[in-house]
Amino acid sequence: MSERILALLVEFVTRVISAGGYAGIAALMAINSAGIPLPSELIMPFSGYLVYLGRFNLFMVAIVGMVGCNVGSAIGYWIGFKGGQPFVERYGKWVLMSHHDLDRMGSFFQKYGSIAVLLARMLPVVQTFISIPAGIARMPRLRFHIYTSLGSITWYTCLAYAGMKLGEKWHTDPRIEQVFHRFHLVVEIALVAAIVWFVASHLKRARQPDAA
């Protein structure tokens, strides 16, 4: 079952990008940034691999990813701005966002201030939910989108570049293929475990009443 979930996730991402091109990348990153956990660590490296194949341009991949991130982040910001914490606490479970996540994102935002948005764009999981506490805190929108753009384009460029370089070395450096075939099962198990843990823990928290 776990392997099936991972396979479906990978298939969904690759099909959307393969069929939609740059628009597909932007759409996936918008979904991720709107509060639905769809990992950029899967989306952008695959896009980078397609850069190696000559289908995409590395700079354009990062740009459209940044645009999609801003679109999705604007939705998350609006939810936090208009609905506030009570709204998020009530409906966040539908996107696997628990009260615990909201508290953690809020603390992260309070600790680092506006710069938290910039830092969060380069952190797994946090990047998905940071827009909501920014909206709750009424962070100035221009600053919000500037930091979102700077953080996302930096991180997406790195991820896409890594995917491109891996594609380049896949057939030219036999060590890459040997290492992959030796450790691919370990990597797959680790990815499956991480995804299952994330979904299971968030579903469990969503079903539990908030602690007094």
pTM equals 0.72
Question: Could you give the percent of the chain with pLDDT greater than 70?
Answer: 64
Distance, in Å, from the CA atom of 47 to the CA atom of 42, rounded to the nearest integer, reads 9
What is the C-alpha to C-alpha distance for residues 121 and 73, in angstroms, rounded to an integer? 10
Q: d(Cα 179, Cα 201) in Å, to the nearest integer? A: 32
* φ, ψ for residue 139, nearest 5 deg: -60, 135
Of the two residues 123 and 93, the one the predictor is more confident about is: 123
Residue 103 binned pLDDT confidence (cut-offs 50, 70, 90): low
pLDDT confidence of residue 73? 93
Tokens of 105: 């994102």
CB neighbourhood size of 165 (10 A) = 16
Summarize the confidence of residues 112-116 as an average pLDDT: 76
Residue indicated by tokens 């696997």 = 96
Kindly indicate the confidence band of residue 100, based on its pLDDT and cuts at 50, 70 and 90: low
The residue written with tokens 């691919």 in the block is: 184
Alpha-carbon gap, residue 196 to 21, rounded angstroms: 29
Dihedral angle at the C-alpha atoms of 153, 159, 161, 162, nearest 10 degrees? 160
d(CA 89, CA 102): 8
